[in-house]
Amino acid sequence: MATPPPPRKGSQHSTHEWALTPEPPKVSDEAVIPEYLTLRQLARYANVSERQLRNYLNLPPSQALPCYRPGRKVLVRQSEFDAWFAQYRSRGKPVITRLLRELDLDPERLPEFRSSRNGRG
């Protein structure tokens, strides 16, 4: 067991008090993500350029990235960005997905099938 350092001259803490005082937790700067992000922070978080984020903000209201504008500052809540961004998740080839949606077919509800190249089944 490590021995505590000797008390400094004029210190009001005894050796016994030092042993009972918990150390403050060490927090990494990268581990802390604020609830509201600036566009610069969001660009780093999402690996998207600030220009592209501004394009997302300027989409029609039903499609635009939700944000808060206190004064001239633009803030985006991380949880809202994650939910908004999830709508753009895709599987397979985007062209096929787009065509299926144009035909009013939901690609997520279609049964999975595999075509065999060797002519069987």
pLDDT tens readout for residues 71-83: 999 999 999 999 9
Residue whose structure tokens are 């501004």: 54
Say whether pLDDT at 118 is over 80: no
Exposure letters 61-80 (e unless 16+ CB within 10 A, then b):
eeeebebeeeeeebbbbbee
On whether residue 2 sits in a domain, the answer given is no
What Cα–Cα distance (Å) separates residue 20 from each residue in 6, 13, 15, 16? 15, 11, 9, 7
What pLDDT score does 22 carry?
60
On whether residue 14 sits in a domain, the answer given is no
**Contacts within 8 Å (CB) and 24+ apart, 39-43:** 39/74, 39/76, 42/76, 42/78, 42/81
What is the per-residue pLDDT across 9-50, written as a single tens digit (0 to 9) for each?
Answer: 655 555 555 555 566 556 555 556 689 999 999 999 999 999
What pLDDT score does 71 carry?
92
Domain of 47 in residue numbering reads as 36-102
Instruction: Count how many domains the chain has.
Output: 1
On whether residue 18 sits in a domain, the answer given is no
On whether residue 51 sits in a domain, the answer given is yes
The pTM of this model reads 0.51
Residue whose structure tokens are 């190249």: 117
